[in-house]
Amino acid sequence: MMKFHIVISLLAVVVLAGCSTTSAPKSNGGSTLSKLTGGSKQAATTGVLAALGNGLIGNNPSLDASDRKRALQAEYQALEYSPAGKTVEWKNSSGSHSGEVVAAQPYQVGSQNCRQYTHTVRIDGTPQSARGTACRNEDGSWTPLT
């Protein structure tokens, strides 16, 4: 009878262990935030932003590579972290180019989270706005819908 109780107790421990959770997030080589902000994983930053392509700003010849990166980082920040309607701003070092991204409420398409968003870019004070939609990939990157 004692063996029966031990076996049942061990079985209960095994079953309950399968139901436990941890509060630590899954890691895939660095947090999404460190990927975005250029933490120690520069290649990962490129991967998360690369999924956005040229984003809503397109391949505007008035923006240099640094401006594009700031703009894409703002798009990613708005899509991944910002509450609906909150503005994420960016500005180049000279202040001649800037922008703001505003994402709407997330919604589900199948198993993916998607968001509509607006990106307004100011080049020498002249605003240009574009609207689009992007869906979140399993790796944390966002892909614009075309």
Can you spell out the DSSP letters for 50-63? Answer: HTTTTGGGTT-TTS
Inter-residue contact 57 to 63 (CB < 8 Å): yes
User: What pLDDT does residue 58 have?
Assistant: 76
Is the model's pLDDT at 131 over the cut of 70? Answer: yes
Which residue's entry shows tokens 């029966």? 4
Comparing 30 with 88, the larger pLDDT belongs to 88
The pTM of the full predicted model, rounded to 2 decimals, is: 0.67
Residue 1, C-beta contacts closer than 8 angstroms, at least 6 positions apart = none
Residue 109, C-beta contacts closer than 8 angstroms, at least 6 positions apart = 135
Both tokens of residue 79? 């899509």
Q: What is the pLDDT of residues 35-85, one digit of tens each?
A: 333 443 344 456 777 777 778 877 788 899 999 999 999 999 999 999 999
Round to whole Å and give the CA distance between 40 and 112: 28
Which residue's entry shows tokens 């960016």? 90
Is the model's pLDDT at 25 over the cut of 70? Answer: no
Q: What is the pLDDT of residues 83-116, one digit of tens each?
A: 999 999 999 989 899 999 999 999 999 999 999 9
Paired residues of 118 in beta bridges: 102, 131
Element spanning 67, H or E = helix 65-80
Is the model's pLDDT at 6 over the cut of 90? Answer: no
Round to whole Å and give the CA distance between 69 and 108: 28
